[in-house]
Amino acid sequence: MRLCYIDESGTPEIPGPTSHYVLVGLSIPADKWRRYFDDIEHVKRRYGLEDREIHVAWMMRRYPEETAIRSFGSMSFDDRRKAALEHRQASLSRLKAADSRKFRQQKKNLRKTDAYAHLTLDERRQLVRELAMLISGWGMVRMFAECVDKNHFVPEIAGKSVDEQALEQVVSRFERYLQNLGQDLGLLIHDNNQTVAKRHTNLMRSFLRKGTLWTDVRHVIETPMFVDSELTGMIQLADLCGYALRRYLENSESELFNLVFRRADRVGQTAVGVRHFTRPACECKICEAHRV
Ligand SMILES: [Zn+2]
């Protein structure tokens, strides 16, 4: 049995705030689950993040208190957290009186980054790098992804929405991979996101009955299982992969990308598992590896 953890990066709305929408499936053999789980926990524990969610986009941001608090980097984790929370509370109180819209935004920012308040930006980056290195080194993991450049996507021509196309592509490639393996079955595991849960369940039901545009679906079974991303380390790593792919395509950031792209499903030299849907003759590493 292969478990395929699905997560997205960017928004499927056109145009939306990001140029790309990326849907990732990270497949692991079920009998490796325990070992990989322990590997993730081991890394998170060293950064004081056991039982906390890794959400890469929020971790990679710069937090203002880090530069405002003197000697922040040389404090203990506990002292940093205490100082950071005090600083955050003071800045919130100032905003509350001055600007209610900024206050609400800032409150959300602080909630999303609360778990990481005891880490410096360098440490957060290093943690994410170490997790990407884990993925890179797990020889049995396969990454599937559809990276849609929304500037080149026309729903009327595609006959479907951005996220529908992405799911169809990821399911098709995961199914092909399982077909090539032989008898193994696969199960999709999704972040429990209410807005996509129902649509993806219905789409998957249709794939199971009629196949996708590209293949019969015989090895992927069931509609997606939904889990809480806060509690599921593997979903968080799918999130990391989505972040790495999107930041490579939108900002040419290649460090995390180079690590996780090693796990793209390949047939011979060709990275069949990951596609960049964009203009013809794109010269990015994904398109080059997909064309070989
Ligand atoms: Zn490309």
- Dist. CA 84–CA 75, nearest whole Å: 11
Whole-number Å distance, alpha carbon 288 to ligand 1 midpoint, is 7
Structure tokens given for 187: 């199960």
pLDDT bucket at 160, cuts 50 / 70 / 90: very high
Instruction: Report pLDDT for 192.
Output: 83
Could you tell me the pTM of the whole model?
0.94
pLDDT per residue as tens digits for the range 202-246: 999 999 999 999 999 999 999 999 998 877 889 999 999 999 999
Domain edges within the chain: 2-44+131-291, 64-116
Q: Sorting pLDDT into bands at 50, 70 and 90, what band is 79? A: very high
- CA separation (Å) from 243 to 32, 218, 240, 249, 260? 24, 30, 5, 10, 10
Give distance in angstroms: CA of 284 to centre of ligand 1.
Answer: 4
- Please give the distance, rounded to the nearest whole angstrom, from the Cα atom of residue 230 to the centre of ligand 1: 31
For residue 283, report the distance from its CA to the centre of ligand 1, in Å: 6
- Dihedral through CA 30, CA 34, CA 36, CA 40, nearest 10? 140
Listed range (91-95, 134-138, 140-144, 252-256) with the worst mean pLDDT: 91-95
E strands in the chain: 2-9, 20-29, 142-149, 186-191, 225-227, 274-277
Instruction: Say if CB 13 and CB 195 are below 8 A apart.
Output: no
* Range of weakest confidence among 99-108, 168-177, 274-283: 99-108
Tell me the pLDDT tens digit for each residue of 245-278.
999 999 999 999 999 999 999 999 999 999 999 9
**Range with lowest mean pLDDT among 28-32, 43-47, 83-87, 199-203:** 199-203
100 band by pLDDT with thresholds 50, 70 and 90: confident
Instruction: Report how far ligand 1's centroid is from the alpha carbon of 94 (Å).
Output: 45
Asked if the peptide bond before residue 155 counts as cis, ω within 30 degrees of 0, the response is: no
Q: Which residues sit with Cβ closer than 5 angstroms to ligand 1, an ion?
A: 276, 282, 284, 287
pLDDT of residue 101: 87
Question: Cα separations (Å) of 149 from 19, 107, 194, 261?
Answer: 6, 31, 24, 18
CA distance 135 to 237: 8
Q: How confident is the model at residue 199 (pLDDT cuts 50, 70, 90)?
A: confident
SS3 of residue 154 by DSSP? coil
Give residue 59 CA to ligand 1 midpoint distance, Å. 26
- Residues 205 and 199: their CA atoms lie apart, in Å, by 10
Which pLDDT band, with edges at 50, 70 and 90, does 9 fall under?
A: very high
pLDDT at 36: 96
Share the mean pLDDT of the chain: 94
CA 72 to centroid of ligand 1, rounded, Å = 41
What is the CATH code for 2-44+131-291?
3.30.420.10
Ligand 1 mean position, distance from CA 278 (Å): 6
Find out whether 186 and 219 touch, Cβ atoms under 8 Å.
Answer: yes
pLDDT digits (tens, 9 = 90+) for 25-40: 999 999 999 999 999 9
User: What is the 140 CA–ligand 1 centroid distance (Å)?
Assistant: 25
Q: pLDDT tens digit string along 167-196? A: 999 999 999 999 999 978 999 999 888 878
State the distance from the centre of ligand 1 to the C-alpha of 114, rounded, in angstroms: 35
Taking each helix axis as running N to C, give the angle between helix 33-46 and helix 121-137, from 0 to 180 degrees, rounded to the nearest 10: 160
